[in-house]
Structure 1
Amino acid sequence: MTDPEFMDLAEQLLAAVEASCDRINDESDADLDNQRVGGMVTLAFPNGSQIVVNLQKPLHEVWLAAQSGGYHYRFADGQWRDTKGGAEFFAQLSRDASAQAGQALVFS
């Protein structure tokens, strides 16, 4: 994968995270706050916890940091997959966000 290809795919991922936050806030009382600074999106929850998603451009990876731990994702076969466990990015983000929000949240 070239650097421009990575950046296009990674930007789509970050935009999808932001759009999911907006949709979740419209459809529930989760009250998520999301802020984007460059290649990083921070999700803040009412209980003070956070999830951070950021781009690791030199590695062509997206990293997710949550209370459950840190995960590294690479794009393969049309999905962002964890480099260790193989979990899909949005499935893991949904699990972590649900745990930190105390209610079921679905990111896509």
Structure 2
Amino acid sequence: MTETEFLDLAEATLDAIESAIDRLTEQDRIDAECSRSGNVLEIEFLHNGSKVIVNSQAPMQELWVAARSGGFHYRHVDGKWLNTRDSSELFAALSQIATEQSGGSPVVVSEKP
């Protein structure tokens, strides 16, 4: 994948994550705010102030996630962002992270509306 292809894919993925969090907030499933600065998406869970940071790393062609549960690296393989250590999928992992950090009922972060 070229750098331009990676940057386009990473941007689309960050947009999808931001849209999913916004939808969940509008549905009163979570109380969170997203802020974006370039290739960095910050998700803040307002009830406890915890944050999840998702950012693209163009030189590595990876998306990195930092959460209370740890730091994770995802590489795009066969149409999915997969964890470089355990092959878990990015959106499934973000669902688990959001559920844990929101302190509420299970949350599903989906790239599709």
The TM-score with structure 1 as length reference comes to 0.96
Q: By percentage of residues, which structure has more helix?
A: 1
CA distance, structure 1, for counterparts of residue 63 and residue 92 of structure 2: 14
SS at match of 2:59: helix
Aligned-partner Cα distance in 2 for 1:73–1:21: 19
- Percent identity over the alignment is 44
Q: Residue 69 of structure 2 aligns to which amino acid in structure 1? A: S
Output the CA distance in 2 between the equivalents of 1:84 and 1:21: 25
Q: Match of 1:50?
A: 51
- 1:13-66 per-residue CA deviation (whole Å, 9 max, x = no partner) reads 000011001110111252211000000000001201000000101110000010
Residue 39 in structure 1 maps to residue 39 in structure 2: yes
Q: How many pairs does the alignment contain?
A: 108
Give the structure 2 partner of residue 93 of structure 1. 94
Question: What residue number does 1:59 align with?
Answer: 60
- 3-state SS in 1 of match to 2:4: helix
CA distance in 1, matches of 2:53, 2:27: 22
Q: What is the distance in 1 between the residues matched to 2:28 and 2:6?
A: 32
User: Following TM superposition, by how much is the alpha carbon of 1:8 offset from its aligned partner in structure 2, in angstroms?
Assistant: 1.1
- Map 1:2-17 onto structure 2 (within 5 A): 2-17=2-17
Poorly superposed stretches of 4+, deviation over 2 Å:
none
State the AA in 2 paired with 1:55. Answer: S
How big is the alpha-carbon RMSD for the aligned residues of Structure 1 and Structure 2?
Answer: 0.8
Q: Which runs of 5+ in 2 are unaligned?
A: none
- Inter-partner Cα distance in structure 2 for 1:56 and 1:37: 14
Aligned to 1:30: 30
